[in-house]
Structure 1
Amino acid sequence: MLVNFMLKGKITLLKTGIYFTFVLMCRKSHFLMKHRTILYLLALLVSLINSPNAAAQAHPDKPALVVGIVVDGLRNDWIERYWNLFGEGGIKKIVRQGTGYTDASVPFLLADIGSSHASISTGTPPALHGIVAETWYNRLRKEETWCTRDYLAKTIGSSDASRTPANGNGRHSARQLLASTIGDRIILASDYKSKVISISIRPEAAVLLCGHIPGSAYWFDNTFGSWITSSEYANSIPSWVAGFNLRNSSEHYLSREWDLLLAGNLYTGCPPDDNDLETGYYNQFKTFPYKLARIRKESLSQDFEVLSLVPYGNTLTTDFAITAIHEESLGKDAYPDLLWVSYTAIDEVTRRFGPDSREVADALLRLDMDIQRLIYQVEESVGKEKALFILTSTHGAAMDPDYSAALNLPGGFFRYRNAMALLNSYLSAVHGDGKWVESYLNLQLYLNETLIEQKKISFSAIQDEAARFLTHFEGIARAIPADRLLSGEITSPWDGMVQNSFNPDRTGDLLLILQPGWIEEKNSDSDSRSPYPYDTKIPLYWYGWTIPKQTISRPVTLLDIAPTIAHIMTITPPDAATGRNLSDLFK
């Protein structure tokens, strides 16, 4: 690398100069007698400079620790919008001192916590890694499939040992992920000596970032308020995890209330706190301050779920990540380590209050404080020049359609239940009574294959028929038949994004794209999954190690993250990776 070459050149010149000075001084015998101390120090300096580790200590060839910070649902424009409210050591530090990509995006549809985390770790889109969404419809089982659910896995680490076998919160693995991850490649390349740890409140994020080869994936058990893993990753939790759980930090945070950090007038551009447009928590808690114990009492489960829906969930995640850094001695040996930290509370707040709310703004300020704390602990423990940070997001967020309407902007709620009922009635009128629509999930429609075969109807023909009908429904921009995706006939403005999203075994028979500003009607104030910039534009920043201070405006995607880490580590990228190495980072 250029930095190392320049450093070595300077060292060579310095060594040469010291050597000649030393020789000239030695020619004078009386100097040897009078200045033994000086000669000793010069000789010591030469030996230090001659050490093979001298250059490496300044800028190691590889970072000792890579810290990937993934914020679920972080819109790119929020960083500029709330810039003046951020502290100096968190997001601002990463942006000011690192490399930022101003045109980073998600290159596929249906971006959510499942599809995007899998794409970040594998460097390939859902079409290849198979995680088309957080959930999809399983035709064989006739049921909704959770992307990481594994009924063969067992919960490891529940705080209630007597109830652990019955606790299904740990039944997760990467079994349904069809590609390897960057974590898998790092472990293999180091002969299992590097450590790969992923941490998130949500199991999907932790599992899909970690991968297949047992690293360490930890997520939060909403039932018992502890950090757990599954038998796919460990037979027992480390003592430090058990010790952390014994602190009862989750109970501590649930005893707090969430109020605004700053004076209300500083949250500019946000609608009033008390308004009728927000869904809030459980359709009743909509204004500051939020007393978490009371919200927990009113929830159906009355467990620790509330903690995952508020900023304190991010804070608890940071506490656990910092403990992992110290207890696992990350970045302390010759084998590079990888730590993924996925913050998911921002997306939960956005869905309940909308992206323009004071709740989201305050949650972002608190997230900035958590990131600042994480950066400080890593740099104190490992060193800035040995640590590499990555900050990115899974997707953006759509404006609350009710708020859009109040501003006279287009948008609305797609009433998918009505649409499916009308489609079923239409197909029944044309082809005879029956349940033609077998399932609908996440803008995907699954037709009844058995009924269609019984009626001896062309599957492609009925897909086209259903698509033509649905495109006339309010809120739908495109209804794309799966058979046309298989044959490559799609000519929409988003053909590449659609193809990247399509997996023939898991994607529905019709894939829907809504009109700009429209979201599904799901008791939510926001959503992602569209091809529009408010959903696809994401932040992407690299900071630390040898990363230069610069801003890059060329288009990049989140698929480029894993191949770039592989390049930095000089290892093979994940097997299905289609992303590119971000060569700008090394100029």
Structure 2
Amino acid sequence: MTIRWQSAIVILALLTLSACRPALEGPRLVVVIAVDQMRPDYLDRFDDRFTGGLARLLRDGAVFTDAYQDHALTETAPGHAAISTGDFPSSNGIVQNNWYDRSTHRTVYSFDDPAAPIVGIPDAPGRSPANMKTTTLGDWLKRRSPPSRVFSVAIKDRAAIAMGGKRPDGVYWYHTATGHFVTSVYYRPDYPDWVARFNAAEPAAGYNGTRWERLYPESAYAASREDDFAPEFDGRTTTFPHLIEAREDDGGWHGFYGGTFLRSPFADGLTLAFARDLVTNEQLGTDDRPDLLFIGLSAADYVGHAYGPYSQEVEDYYLRLDLQLDSLFVFLDQTVGRANYIVTLTADHGVMTMPEESARPGFGGTRASRRGLDSLVMRALATDSTAPTIAMSGGVVMDFPPGTSEQTQIDTRRAVATALRQSPAVLEAYASDELVAGPDSSRPYFDAYRRSFYPGRSADVMIVPREDVLITNSPRGTSHGSPHPHDTHVPLVFTGPGIAPGRHTERARTVDIAPTLAALLGVRPVGMVDGRVLEGVGSRE
């Protein structure tokens, strides 16, 4: 008997078994919305301006005010993976967006897979969840209820793939060279007709020539700083209106699809339009088998990096998001029924206030060059005849020559950590040998770095920057990636049938989202997870 026929028989048996199981009670649809780089203070700073979807979440939802990404390296890939798996990077293996592979001596993208080319674009780098070591909420649901549908969509591939899991019904992301939503052969060999129609309409290109204006008069943006602030973006195009246009001097259409358009709220509007088409055409939430939809709103991150959390651009983005989510919820009310779906809102990480902004009221804030840290590392190794090859990826990666003794490697890592601690930009530096030895709550963020550490993928020495220091070679914009609260503190809201509205002040973590939603769906995680079920949310009444 061939493997193909054996697989068919197994699938038939599973479908027969699932048909004999009683239908899961609870919501027909769960929607998880992860807004890339969303800080929880946005919900407080702008709340008097919200009238739509965000207002509804705050009014009707269980709002966790003390929620965190509880690992140290706060980037997009590990943040989304923590949401979907209920596991820290130390368990799921997604430690960063990229890591250095010592066996191939090259940097690896978190969801790179040469065996899974993009459908219709075979020359593009392949993508799949092959590097993820644990399962996700969607996988748990499919295991318990194979007829349930699981989908994920985002601008960023690493957001969509991390949330979609191992065996979803579809994962789609935005292709920055074409402006289309794509998938890889890992998920399916071709595009459904509705996706082909969506792309054929060239909706991203339709924004060419659009002016991003403020929704309201400038005087209404009192929660933000002045519009003209030199450290923003490129130092020149820092004020409204922003022309969303393909220009030859800015890379033409490639620059538009992969840059200008992404730095606008219209990109996430496009994602939500795709999500609505997905719900309609894939008939999510239309029967008694619960479905799951992950939506990653990635443009928030591009806007935040360029303009910073106290910019009028960020405020306007969230005022528009409030209206965009209102349209989504009204659509779901009409197609699924308000009493039939649950929404969870959270983020993959926060972002640091621009150092120049922090410095103005006298709170400190500075930029520190990565090159300065490189110099400290090289000086520490200057007299070492067995010095390893160095790469900077989440810290200092050391590619030791063959035959280097274990003690020499330990001594070298300690020497580099000691050297890095001399930098005024560095609060602490942890050698991998220390991290694997066990927890130590007496040292700053030590345990958070342990939760970000996965052997073979993580750096040999991890760097803890000072809270008011942005380590970057860029003179403008801002970023994230640290264990400090400005990067780890995220919003967390659950709303829907059986969830009582109110504010919860107990500490919650993004790894708690998947087990909590699993409890609401009546399914169990596959194996142990790092997260827990949040009391007052994760059980059906």
TM-score normalized by the length of structure 2 = 0.91
Q: Which residue of 1 aligns with 2:110?
A: 147
Deviation, structure 1 residue 574: 4.0
Q: Which residue of 2 aligns with 1:102?
A: 65
**CA spacing shift, 1:217–1:297, aligned 2, 3 Å:** farther
Distance in structure 2 (CA, Å) of the matches to 1:389 and 1:545: 10
* Deviation readout 1:463-507 (Å, 9 max, x if unpaired): 111111110112100100001111126441323212111111111
Do residues 516 (structure 1) and 480 (structure 2) align?
A: no
Distance in structure 2 (CA, Å) of the matches to 1:381 and 1:349: 31
Higher deviation after alignment, 128-137 or 284-293: 284-293
Contact 1:385 1:546 in 2 (8 A): no
Deviation, structure 1 residue 249: 0.7
Matches within 5 A, 1:253-268: 253-268=207-222
Quick one: which amino acid aligns to residue 462 of structure 1?
T
Distance in structure 2 (CA, Å) of the matches to 1:296 and 1:374: 35
Distance in structure 1 (CA, Å) of the matches to 2:62 and 2:143: 29
**CA spacing shift, 1:284–1:137, aligned 2, 3 Å:** farther
More helix by share: 1
Aligned residues: 514
| Alpha-carbon RMSD | 2.0
Deviation, structure 1 residue 269: 3.6
Distance in structure 1 (CA, Å) of the matches to 2:187 and 2:406: 47
Quick one: which amino acid aligns to residue 153 of structure 1?
A
User: Residue 188 of structure 1: which of 131, 143, 148 is its match?
Assistant: 143
Contact 2:356 2:366 in 1 (8 A): yes
Do residues 83 (structure 1) and 38 (structure 2) align?
A: no
Q: Which residue of 2 aligns with 1:349?
A: 303
Do residues 204 (structure 1) and 204 (structure 2) align?
A: no
SS of 2:433's equivalent in the other structure is helix
Deviation, structure 1 residue 575: 3.2
Deviation, structure 1 residue 455: 8.2
Higher deviation after alignment, 384-393 or 408-417: 408-417
Distance in structure 1 (CA, Å) of the matches to 2:248 and 2:493: 36
Distance in structure 2 (CA, Å) of the matches to 1:81 and 1:498: 30
Matches within 5 A, 1:132-531: 132-156=95-119, 158=120, 164-168=121-125, 171-191=126-146, 193-280=147-234, 284-294=236-246, 297-299=249-251, 301-305=254-258, 306-428=260-382, 430-432=383-385, 436=388, 438-442=390-394, 444-450=395-401, 453-454=403-404, 458-488=408-438, 490=440, 491-523=442-474, 524-531=476-483
Deviation, structure 1 residue 550: 1.7
Deviation, structure 1 residue 564: 1.0
Distance in structure 2 (CA, Å) of the matches to 1:150 and 1:482: 27
* Deviation readout 1:430-452 (Å, 9 max, x if unpaired): 324x764510023x11123117x
SS of 2:329's equivalent in the other structure is helix
Q: Which residue of 2 aligns with 1:561?
A: 513
Contact 1:122 1:576 in 2 (8 A): no
Deviation, structure 1 residue 422: 3.0
Mark the runs of 5 or more structure 1 residues left unpaired by the alignment: 1-59, 159-163
SS of 2:401's equivalent in the other structure is helix
How many percent identity over aligned positions?
28
Distance in structure 2 (CA, Å) of the matches to 1:566 and 1:70: 17
Mark the runs of 5 or more structure 2 residues left unpaired by the alignment: 1-23
Q: Which residue of 2 aligns with 1:61?
A: 25
Matches within 5 A, 1:533-548: 533-548=485-500
Contact 1:124 1:576 in 2 (8 A): no
TM-score normalized by the length of structure 1 = 0.84
Distance in structure 2 (CA, Å) of the matches to 1:295 and 1:512: 40
* Deviation readout 1:28-53 (Å, 9 max, x if unpaired): xxxxxxxxxxxxxxxxxxxxxxxxxx
Contact 1:563 1:574 in 2 (8 A): no
Higher deviation after alignment, 298-307 or 110-119: 298-307
SS of 2:318's equivalent in the other structure is helix
Contact 1:123 1:574 in 2 (8 A): no
**CA spacing shift, 1:112–1:296, aligned 2, 3 Å:** farther
Deviation, structure 1 residue 406: 2.6
SS of 1:218's equivalent in the other structure is strand
Q: Which residue of 2 aligns with 1:73?
A: 37
Contact 1:149 1:173 in 2 (8 A): yes
SS of 1:75's equivalent in the other structure is coil
**CA spacing shift, 1:465–1:138, aligned 2, 3 Å:** same
* Deviation readout 1:40-91 (Å, 9 max, x if unpaired): xxxxxxxxxxxxxxxxxxxx9310000101101100011110111212x311
Deviation, structure 1 residue 456: 8.2
Contact 1:123 1:577 in 2 (8 A): yes
Higher deviation after alignment, 205-214 or 172-181: 205-214
* Deviation readout 1:527-568 (Å, 9 max, x if unpaired): 222222211111111111221112111111010111011111
Larger Rg: 1
Contact 1:424 1:435 in 2 (8 A): no
**CA spacing shift, 1:574–1:526, aligned 2, 3 Å:** farther
